[in-house]
Amino acid sequence: MCGRYSFSKKKVPLAHRYAERLEGLTFEPNFDARPSQQLPVILSTAEKAVMATWADPTKQEDGKPILPFNVREENLLFIPRFRELLPKNRCIIPIDGFFEWKEVEEEEESSTQAHTPEIGLDLFGNPIRSEAEKKRLKKAKPLKQKYRFTLKQEEPFGLAGLWRETLHQDTGEHYPHFTIITTKANAAVEPYHDRMPVILTPHIENIWLDNRLQEKDYLKVLQPYDPRQMSVMAIDDYESMLGNYVAPKLNSK
């Protein structure tokens, strides 16, 4: 869930609440941000945003990553390494949109029919396929459509996250890494995925960054965002990586 998002400093107006935080931070526009990349994050312990790596795949003794690319809000209290980060290591990930993919079943069926040899039907009316055709269908990847989720006004917004510093074995320096917190999908996202990132309103951002509050105060703000304030559109997968959010042509995939 939420394995890709986009963010460009050029899209942050001077009057926006992120403008001052991002001042002095240099980074290229990223229209296909993904785990392992360095991206801007706003910390609860610093006035200015910093560059941090999305996720830390370094394995622990149990074989799980120290910091996955996302973590369920339901698990924050039950997994010790995440609960330890909650008091002081909360962060906001500034973005201008995130992406999800959904299988396109109808087009996939049409494609399957086009490749299925006319070799008759069985007693139940199902097509009889050769062994080669069965192998081809088994290897075939499902066709997926890419969708972009934004706020209705398309202004930059923030996702709730956690961060931690990881010691680099070669240099001995500490580098920040972050993860995105997810919650159950709202009515805008649910048709495409059952989870969504926790989107913070400007008011809730202030709560999320306030280190004087208690654990319960942070947890209660991790809710699905108001779907009436969101927009979603089908987009061309390749064009979107260039920052061109254009709708794909019908049956073009």
- Look at residue 174 in the predicted model and tell me its pLDDT: 83
pLDDT per residue, tens digit, the chain (253 aa), is 678 999 999 999 999 999 999 999 999 999 999 999 999 999 988 999 999 999 998 888 888 888 999 999 999 999 999 999 999 999 999 999 999 999 886 544 444 455 555 566 665 556 777 777 777 766 666 789 999 999 998 999 999 999 999 877 777 788 999 999 999 999 999 999 999 999 999 999 999 999 999 999 999 999 999 999 999 999 999 999 999 999 987 654 4
What pLDDT is recorded for position 106?
A: 52
**pLDDT reported for residue 20:** 96
Give pLDDT, residue 82. Answer: 94
Domains and CATH numbers, the chain: 5-101+144-240 (3.90.1680.10), 105-139 (no CATH)
Report the candidate in 111, 108, 114 with the shortest Cα–Cα distance to residue 145.
108
pLDDT at 160: 98
Cα 231 from Cα 96, distance rounded (Å): 12
Tell me the residue type at 175.
Y
Cα-Cα-Cα-Cα torsion 71, 74, 78, 81, nearest 10 degrees, comes to 20
CA distances, 96 to each of 29, 145, 171, 174, 192 (Å): 11, 20, 34, 28, 19
C-alpha–C-alpha distance, residues 194 and 190, integer Å:
5
Find how far residue 130's CA is from the centre of its chain.
40
- Rounded distance, CA 97 to CA 13, Å? 16
- Give residue 108's pLDDT: 42
